[in-house]
Amino acid sequence: MTTMETYSCTVTSTACSADALQRERQGYRDMLRKDILRTWTLLPGGKLKRAVGCFRSPGVHAVAVLRFGQWLKEKHILVRSLLTPLYLYLHHRVVTKWGIDLARSARIGEGCYIGHFGGIIVGGAVEIGHNVSLSQGVTIGVWGKGATRGSPTVGDNVYIAPGAKVFGKIRVGD
């Protein structure tokens, strides 16, 4: 069972095992590691240049804050009450500095790569698969009313090009 499947399982079903829940909780750290590793492999140059590139990357900042927020949602109320102000501050910094707004309730698979900053918005009910690349000016969110209301599901290994807008209860395949 992959981390994304585990996450979906715990959100939509109470029949998941305690083992799956434990894998999910450990999964945020592993997902962040794979997000950073994907950025690392896509950057040119030697080890030092790649390390600096990852450290400076707006996409890595945004995904790190996302994974922190997702991890925080699973913690005890005391931990959440102490660390939520930090999360809110970091999320606000990413949104205002880089123009990247990733809702922590969005289910984004490991290996998320954001190559450029500016105008990237991912809504809360969106599901995005593994190894997805998001470019600048991308908006993915909810659309419709009543039975037509819904958010998109994006498959694995998808590149969403600059300026793309994806709305509604649709599925973008692998």
Q: Rounded distance, CA 35 to CA 109, Å?
A: 9
Q: In angstroms, how far is CA 29 from the centroid of its own chain? A: 13
> Per residue in 114-125, pLDDT tens?
988 899 999 989
Q: Above 70 in pLDDT, residue 13?
A: no
pTM (two decimals): 0.82
DSSP assignment of 57-92, as one string? -HHHHHHHHHHHHHHHHTS-HHHHHHHHHHHHHHHH
User: Average per-residue pLDDT in the chain?
Assistant: 86
- pLDDT band of 140, cuts 50, 70, 90: very high
Give the DSSP H/E element, type plus range, for residue 133: strand 133-134
> Per residue in 55-114, pLDDT tens?
999 999 999 999 999 999 999 999 999 999 999 999 999 999 999 999 999 999 999 999
